[in-house]
Amino acid sequence: LLDISWFTESMRAGHPVQILDRHQLQEQLVNKPEVVVFSVPSYACQRRTTLENQNTTLTDALSLLAENAELSNEDGRGVAFRRAAAVLKVLPSAVQSMSQLTGLPCLGEHSLRVIKDILENGASNEVESTKKSEKYKALKVLTGIFGVGAKTAARWIREGIHNLCQLRESGHTLNRAQQAGLEHYDDINQSVTKTEAEVIQEMVEKAVASVLPGAQVVLTGGFRRGKMSGHDVDFLITHPEEGREVGLMPKVVSWLEAQDFLLYQKTTRNSYLESKEGPGRPPSNMDRFERCLSIFKLHSVENQAAVQDVTKRVEGEQRSDEQTRPWRAVRVDLVVSPFSQFAFALLGWTGSKLFERELRRWAGYEKAMCLSSHALYDNKQRKYLRASSEEDIFAHLGLEYIPPSERNA
Ligand code: DCT
Ligand code: MG
């Protein structure tokens, strides 16, 4: 009954494959021809997850619970919901009944309960009550401020601060990032379009070419995965001659500042050093690159049109400064990587966050290797494995290559 080449090809491609014995097949064909039992490999990095998703109601619900868990500093629960949502994202059709999910990985009791609620009642009580809860709403508003994480937000909520007004009135001293975040709150919480990302790419390319000719700029993050919008714009910068990239970031930042393109920036220096004994514990992460967290001032044709539109619409009304000025604030992350680490940095900064987490989990648990955005270390051979492309890294890890557009787990 099985064409073995089709089977192995599908498994390798991460496509759902169902294995049924003769009786099951008979039952499916005769009794319930419409029911398909799905099957999916367990690590997200073994699967091809495009932006197309046949189960958005279910994945939106699980993603909201994941977000709520993350905002509540319950990372374990957050990951569990993210993994469950990611499994549903790769199913080839909408889930009709719970029996179709039998044997699927990463669907824990709690996630299954939420799915069951939605399939049976059209909505999950837990999701609906979370959405309405004061705590969730306050966490969303406060962490919407650039520079405010879940811990700070939780502390403020304990003090009775639930919104921006209360925060302003509280007299809390905000750091420079948070001040900028509060000042540009509406802009930063409006998603960045692909067109805006492209305009910013031109600005960054111009800056980089002016201070270091020959340096390369790559758009990473969600936009590299094909998303049409995002919460920020991520760039990776390198130079093919190792060492030329040293000291690049301050020069790029000065150039951008001289053009009045920056509303805020904070640069951290590269602190990554490869140790002979292998990466320390916990594994070194991406934060060690020379990195600039910034807020760009973006003027664009699109913005001008939007501004005129708003001006017409609210003629005579009080208009906020953010609605009327000819630019908007956009969050931009710049990262500089030495050329020898570029493939690892590119893989690490393309995401999605869950895909990255799963790659590292696969490396550790299945291959006894340690993967970071700087390097791949083989614990058995006790050596670093070099790579000049993302394809090399997937090959070292024994994984089929997954292109960026299929890393949307
Ligand atoms: N990243 C990661 N782990 C983190 C944070 C980031 O692996 N904790 C990687 C994956 C994506 C990349 O960095 C950029 O991060 P974001 O901008 O937060 O993600 P994104 O996918 O670009 O999302 P968005 O489109 O909303 O910007
Ligand atoms: Mg991003």
* CB atoms inside a 10 Å sphere around CB 220: 21
HEC string of the chain equals CCCHHHHHHHHHCCCCCCCCCHHHHHHHHHCCCCCCCCCCCCCHHHCCECCCCCCHHHHHHHHHHHHHHHHCCCHHHHHHHHHHHHHHHCCCCCCCCHHHHCCCCCCCHHHHHHHHHHHHHCCCHHHHHHHHCHHHHHHHHHHCCCCCCHHHHHHHHHCCCCCHHHHHHHCCCCCHHHHHHHHCHHHHCCCEEHHHHHHHHHHHHHHHHHHCCCCEEEECHHHHCCCCEECCEEEEEECCCCCCCCCHHHHHHHHHHHCCCEEEEEEECCCCCCCCCCCCCCCCCHHHCEEEEEEEEECCHHHHHHHHHHHHHCCCCCCCHHHHCCCEEEEEEEEECCHHHHHHHHHHHHCCHHHHHHHHHHHHHHHCEEECCCCEEECCCCEECCCCCHHHHHHHCCCCCCCHHHECC
pLDDT in tens, 147-165: 999 999 999 999 999 999 9
- 221 Cβ inside 6 Å of ligand 1: yes
Q: Which of 146, 200, 223, 234 to mutate to test the pocket of ligand 1 (most atoms within 8 A of CB)?
A: 234
Closest ligand 1 atom, CA of 229?
Answer: 25
What pLDDT shows up at residue 26? 57
Q: Which of 82, 229, 232 to mutate to test the pocket of ligand 1 (most atoms within 8 A of CB)?
A: 232
Low-confidence ranges of the chain (pLDDT < 70): 1-34, 281-287, 300-320, 322-323
Q: Is 187 annotated as a binding residue?
A: no
- Identify the CA nearest to 228 among candidates 47, 408, 358: 408
What pLDDT shows up at residue 313? 47
What pLDDT shows up at residue 263? 98
Q: Is 60 a catalytic residue?
A: no
What pLDDT shows up at residue 22? 54
What Å distances lie between residue 31 and 39, 120, 152, 174, 307, CA to CA? 20, 22, 56, 64, 60
Q: Is 232 annotated as a binding residue?
A: yes
- 78 Cβ inside 6 Å of ligand 1: no
The model's pTM is 0.87
pLDDT in tens, 362-390: 999 999 999 999 999 999 999 999 999 99
Q: Is 333 annotated as a binding residue?
A: yes
Q: Is 3 a catalytic residue?
A: no
Q: Which residue of the set 117, 333, 378, 392 is catalytic?
A: 333
What Å distances lie between residue 149 and 19, 101, 209, 232, CA to CA? 45, 35, 34, 16
What pLDDT shows up at residue 189? 98
Q: Is 75 a catalytic residue?
A: no
Residue with token string 């002016």: 210
What pLDDT shows up at residue 324? 78
